[in-house]
Amino acid sequence: MNIVGVKKLKTVVDKAIADVEITDVHTHLYASCFGDMLLWGVDELLTYHYLVAEVFRWVDIPYQQFWEMSKREQADLIWKVLFLENSPYSEACRGVLTVLNGLGLDVGSRDLSAYRRYFSEKTMEEYMDQVFELSRVKEVVMTNDPFDDNERKVWLESYKADPRFIAALRIDPLLNTWDQVWMKLKDWGYHVEEDLNGTTLEEIRRFLREWADRMQAVYMAVSLPPTFAFPENSSRAVIIEECVLPVCREFNIPLAMMIGAKKRVNPGLELAGDSLGKSSIETVEYMCANYPYNKFMVTMLSRENQHELSVVARKFRNLMIFGCWWFLNNPSLIDEMTRMRFELLGVSVIPQHSDARVLDQLIYKWAHSRRIIADVLFDKYKDLLEIGWKLEENEIRRDIEKLFSQNFWDFVKKKL
Ligand code: HDL
Ligand code: ZN
């Protein structure tokens, strides 16, 4: 028995967290066959939409003027304003520096040209291997949208599997803008009308089956507004009930609902212009209770939804909550949410995903989260040791493997 005493506990937990190979259950990364859809390098890091929102706190140029700049010019402006004229301690700015430091670059030099030279000497493929190695991420789940013309072309003509990149079928356009996309399905050969009649519903199910199969999708996903309601007299609710949930059951895959994103509150900021709102936990309760043979992965965007979501997860074994999503992916909130979840759910949760849009971000998003989750876990284990519980090192490693990978795969495979 390799019993861990309080003195050794921190070392054992930190080492186990450092060693665990992560399944990143939600990202916007792409395997190399998707070409330029995969973003990487220092200029992409600097123009990540989180930093775009922050730079506009300081600059008064028209939004359009910024969007007409080259990527390099945008990065130059962001570097000047957010890193040189102001200290870069926001999480998005700090993340850029964590990546550069992780790559062995001298962050103290503030030499953006040197950083650019470093990346200019890399190919995407070799850099991809380096990032997966440095971040100790085993595999990432992509966000795969068949309504994206560039992405659809790759799936239909040139897709090349890479085991590090797993597919998830993203269906926002189908659920949130049916009135605008039904004609696309019709163009693609599905016998649909705007009216959700029997034939249309069967053809939407065929569309979902064909893409879930083509992608070997491990779940279907959708981002939903704070106003999301179910049941509801809407095309979204009809398609969820008649098409999405039945096909998810057929494929035995979860539906991942990401609830609370308020789109384009400031359209001038484009992707950086989204905000959030508190959503209805009753909707999550209703779906878990009334569809016991469906599996739901849920993450909610509002801090105010987190406690009730953790409680609802205690009620339904077909619900797996995941990640500190988007505006919650900050140290203070990751700490608060992780403590709440570990206290209410024990090991049965997926504490984090990266949501990385730029490959390099795997380095910082996971370095930052590993630190915080390790500190919370240490506290929880210490509480146990202080009341006489005996902990073995392999039990600590078992728990951590579940939190960072196995809980996800067990839930995806779970038969209800
Ligand atoms: O809908 C989503 O998957 C969100 O994560 C959005 O992509 C958002 O823009 C984002 O990148 N958040 O981190
Ligand atoms: Zn996302």
Gap between the Cα atoms of 265 and 59, Å rounded: 19
| Span 14-33, pLDDT tens digits | 999 999 999 999 999 999 99
| Cis amide prior to 62 (ω within 30 degrees) | no
Calculate how far, in angstroms, residue 263's C-alpha sits from the geometric centre of ligand 1. 10
Mean pLDDT over each residue of the chain, to the nearest integer = 98
| φ, ψ for residue 190, nearest 5 deg | -90, 135
Gap between the Cα atoms of 360 and 27, Å rounded: 12
Q: State CA 297 to chain mean position distance.
A: 12
Nearest ligand to the CA of 27 is 2
Gap between the Cα atoms of 163 and 283, Å rounded: 35
Residue 247 falls inside a structural domain: yes
368 C-beta closer than 6 A to ligand 1 = no
What is the strand order of the sheet 22-24 is part of? 22-24, 137-141, 165-166
User: Looking at residues 65-82, what average pLDDT do you find?
Assistant: 99
223 C-beta closer than 6 A to ligand 1 = yes
263 C-beta closer than 6 A to ligand 1 = no
Whose Cα sits closest to atom 11 in ligand 1?
A: 355
Residue 290 falls inside a structural domain: yes
Confidence band for 272, pLDDT divided at 50, 70 and 90: very high
Q: Is pLDDT of 167 > 80?
A: yes
| φ, ψ for residue 26, nearest 5 deg | -150, 115
136 C-beta closer than 6 A to ligand 1 = no
| Span 193-240, pLDDT tens digits | 999 999 999 999 999 999 999 999 999 999 999 999 999 999 999 999
| Span 139-157, pLDDT tens digits | 999 999 999 999 999 999 9
User: Looking at residues 86-98, what average pLDDT do you find?
Assistant: 99
| Span 231-265, pLDDT tens digits | 999 999 999 999 999 999 999 999 999 999 999 99
357 C-beta closer than 6 A to ligand 1 = yes
Residue 76 falls inside a structural domain: no
Whose Cα sits closest to atom 10 in ligand 1?
A: 326
Residue 106 falls inside a structural domain: no
Calculate how far, in angstroms, residue 355's C-alpha sits from the geometric centre of ligand 1. 7
- The residue segments making up the domain with residue 287 are 3-39+135-413
Residue 103 falls inside a structural domain: no
Residue 119 falls inside a structural domain: no
Q: What is the DSSP secondary-structure string of 338-372?
A: HHHHHHHHTT-SB------SBTTHHHHHHHHHHHH
Confidence band for 367, pLDDT divided at 50, 70 and 90: very high
44 C-beta closer than 6 A to ligand 1 = no
CATH (domain of 402): 3.20.20.140
Distances in Å between the alpha carbon of 173 and those of 146, 179, 212, 235? 9, 9, 16, 12
| Span 301-351, pLDDT tens digits | 999 999 999 999 999 999 999 999 999 999 999 999 999 999 999 999 999
What is the strand order of the sheet 319-321 is part of? 169-170, 220-224, 255-259, 296-300, 319-321
Q: Is pLDDT of 113 > 90?
A: yes
Q: Is pLDDT of 1 > 80?
A: no
**Number of domains the chain contains:** 1
Among residues 317, 168, 325, 330, which one has the least CA distance to residue 253?
A: 168
Q: Is pLDDT of 57 > 90?
A: yes
Nearest ligand to the CA of 171 is 1
**What integer pLDDT is reported at residue 137 of this predicted model?**
98
Residue 75 falls inside a structural domain: no
355 C-beta closer than 6 A to ligand 1 = yes
Give the rounded percent of residues in the chain with a pLDDT score beyond 90: 100
Q: Is pLDDT of 66 > 90?
A: yes
Among residues 354, 368, 370, which one has the least CA distance to residue 29?
A: 354
Ligand 1 atom closest to 357 (CA): 11
Residue 80 falls inside a structural domain: no
